[in-house]
Amino acid sequence: MIMRILGEGQYEIAAEHMDRLNELDTGLQSAAEAGDETAFATALSALLDAVRSLGTPLPDEEITPSDLVLPDEDTGLTQVRELLSEEGLIPG
């Protein structure tokens, strides 16, 4: 799966890492639903850090469609709430 972090770049994520990313996404969704700004910021940072550490960065000159676009760390709670589905930011 190819994930883009807005303003940063794309990462290729192996299927074996999706369970961990979905766990972090669930925490993000819970914090967003609770309206807890501090927990939300922590959860978003953890999710993005995991994508960066588990994923393989794609070269900037490689143009590949993204399967999923994630907000950057500066995106606020209200904006992310608009992006969340019943499955969070990451389907599955």
What confidence tens digit (pLDDT) does each residue in 13-52 have?
999 999 999 999 999 989 988 989 999 999 999 999 999 9
Quick count: other Cβ atoms within 10 Å of Cβ 73?
15
Q: How confident is the model at residue 79 (pLDDT cuts 50, 70, 90)?
A: confident
CB 55, CB 66: distance < 8 Å? no
Q: What is the rounded distance in angstroms from the CA atom of residue 26 to the CA atom of residue 49?
A: 15
| pTM for the whole structure | 0.87
Strands ordered across the beta sheet of 68-70? 56-57, 9-12, 2-5, 68-70
Rg of the chain over all Cα atoms, to the nearest angstrom: 13
Q: What pLDDT, on a 0 to 100 scale, did the predictor assign at position 13? A: 97
Least confident residue range of 6-10, 48-52, 78-82: 78-82
Q: What pLDDT, on a 0 to 100 scale, did the predictor assign at position 12? A: 97
Q: Cα 45 vs. chain centroid, distance in angstroms? A: 9
